[in-house]
Amino acid sequence: MADRDHYDVLGVSRNATVEEVKLAFRKLAIQHHPDKNPDDPKATIRFKEINSSYQVLSDPQRRAMYDRFGHGAEAQGSPFGATGPFAGGVVDMSDLNIDGILGDLLGVFGVGRGDKGDIKRDMEITFEEAAFGCEKELRYERVVPCKTCDATGSEKGHRADTCTTCNGRGRVRMQQGLFPIAVERTCSRCKGTGNIITHPCGDCRGAGLVTGSNTLNVTLPEGVEDHATKLVSGGGNRTRAGRAGDLEITIRVKPHPFFQRNGNDVHAAVPITFAQAALGGEIDVPTLDGKGKVRVPPGTQPGAVLRLKGKGIPHRTTSGRGDQLVQVSIEVPTQLTDKQRELIETLAKELGESVQPQQQTFMEKLKALFG
């Protein structure tokens, strides 16, 4: 199926301002967010479509390419896409570390872009912490400015010289005869810094950056799911350009010995005796709030599911909690005393005189099968 027009998706005109685009996106995002439509399986698809259209129309360069080339500008591998070499009509060859005209041409045809300093880390939490939210301390290594030289890369008392090749820009621009556009690449002499270090710092060896330990307090909301991600802007590595990348934290929820999660509901399996299943009564069960009780109706069958209202996972966007579903299994004794065996045999004779509903259904199916 063909992609819908980005302007139609957001319901704006082709002359809409950036503010009008933002306003339309916010209104639609709230309306179609998956958390607001938990029973609609298509909500996620609509939300992704809305977000995709907003990403294009809110970026002047990507919007200009879309207006000119349509969805082909954003197709995978397109040179006009946001990460393509022709984004905005200028080829940026930063950090390729391939010099000369051959390097420029390779960059034009999709050779990778430079490291932006983004890093990924995992954070392990318990089932209960995921359910009720928590604040965790994350320690990790990242690249930070060198304190010895104040990130200059030069020894104290010395200064770097301005690179004469790029005049301190860190990039050089060329006009390729093969392409009617300007081609930019990293300056090979200063490696994109714009400076030449003549007396390098002994700690960072002229890089201006070192590896250091960082501690971060991370607040997780109640109801966070396994494999959910949290983005910390500026929490990544510092780059030569002076910016810090982002830190992407992936949540890993440790398995629980009793509970399993299904949406906002919690499932647990609890064994009961034959007497409890036949006669009914109250039994103790584990819950997220501690020990709880659930009533077992008389005549409960193996595999029956009992519900504890409001004992599940707190809802993310609304008040209240899911339920806890308790599936019962009936334990059969493996060792019997003579007295117990005698009593069960007597009970078996008594029960044999009455046909149980499940037995009756089974016998009817059996007769129909064998005639």
Q: Are strands 247-253 and 229-232 parallel, antiparallel or unpaired?
A: antiparallel
pTM for the whole structure: 0.57
Mean pLDDT score, 117-129: 94
- Percent of the chain at pLDDT exceeding 70: 80
Whole-number average pLDDT of the chain: 81
User: Please, are residues 48 and 41 in contact by the beta-carbon 8 Å criterion?
Assistant: no
Predicted pLDDT of residue 221: 93
Q: With bands split at pLDDT 50, 70 and 90, how would you rate the model's confidence at 47?
A: confident
Predicted pLDDT of residue 250: 95
Predicted pLDDT of residue 207: 84
**Is residue 259 helix, strand or coil?**
coil
Which is higher by pLDDT, 62 or 236? Answer: 236
What does the pLDDT look like over 69-121, one tens digit per residue?
777 766 655 554 544 544 444 444 343 333 343 334 333 333 334 567 899 99
Q: Euclidean distance between the first and final Cα of the chain, in Å?
A: 53
Long-range contacts made by residues 66-74, C-beta under 8 angstroms, separation at least 24? 66/6, 67/14, 71/3
Predicted pLDDT of residue 359: 57
Question: What is the C-alpha separation between 333 and 54, in angstroms, rounded?
Answer: 64
Mean pLDDT score, 257-263: 94
Predicted pLDDT of residue 362: 60
Question: What is the C-alpha separation between 82 and 61, in angstroms, rounded?
Answer: 8
CA distances from 35 to 32, 94, 189, 219 (A): 8, 40, 52, 20
CB contact set of 71 (below 8 Å; sequence gap of 6+) = 3
What does the pLDDT look like over 274-329, one tens digit per residue?
899 999 999 999 999 999 999 999 999 999 999 999 999 999 888 899 999 999 99
Residue 335 in tokens: 């060792």
| Amino acid at the residue 341 | R
Q: With bands split at pLDDT 50, 70 and 90, how would you rate the model's confidence at 122?
A: very high
Predicted pLDDT of residue 259: 95
Q: With bands split at pLDDT 50, 70 and 90, how would you rate the model's confidence at 176?
A: low
- Report the run of H or E that residue 282 belongs to, with start and end: strand 281-287
Predicted pLDDT of residue 108: 38
* Torsion 367-368-370-371 (CA) sign: positive
Backbone angles phi, psi at 328, to 5 degrees: -95, 145
Predicted pLDDT of residue 73: 67
Predicted pLDDT of residue 41: 81
Alpha helix (H) residue ranges in the chain? 6-10, 18-32, 43-57, 60-69, 100-108, 127-132, 274-279, 338-352, 357-370
CB contact set of 242 (below 8 Å; sequence gap of 6+) = none
Q: Does residue 137 register a pLDDT over 80?
A: yes
Q: What is the DSSP string of 175-195?
A: E-TTSSSEEEEE-TTTTTSSE
Backbone angles phi, psi at 71, to 5 degrees: -65, -20
Predicted pLDDT of residue 102: 38
Q: What is the DSSP string of 32-43?
A: H-GGG-TT-TTH
Predicted pLDDT of residue 254: 96
CA-CA-CA-CA dihedral for 266, 272, 278, 279, to nearest 10: -90
Range with lowest mean pLDDT among 21-35, 260-274, 295-309, 351-365 = 351-365
Question: What is the C-alpha separation between 237 and 242, in angstroms, rounded?
Answer: 10
Single out the residue of 305, 224, 307 nearest to residue 264, CA to CA.
224
Q: What's 154's DSSP letter?
A: B
Q: Count other Cβ atoms within 10 Å, centred on residue 259.
A: 19
Question: What is the C-alpha separation between 330 and 304, in angstroms, rounded?
Answer: 10
Which is higher by pLDDT, 114 or 37? Answer: 37
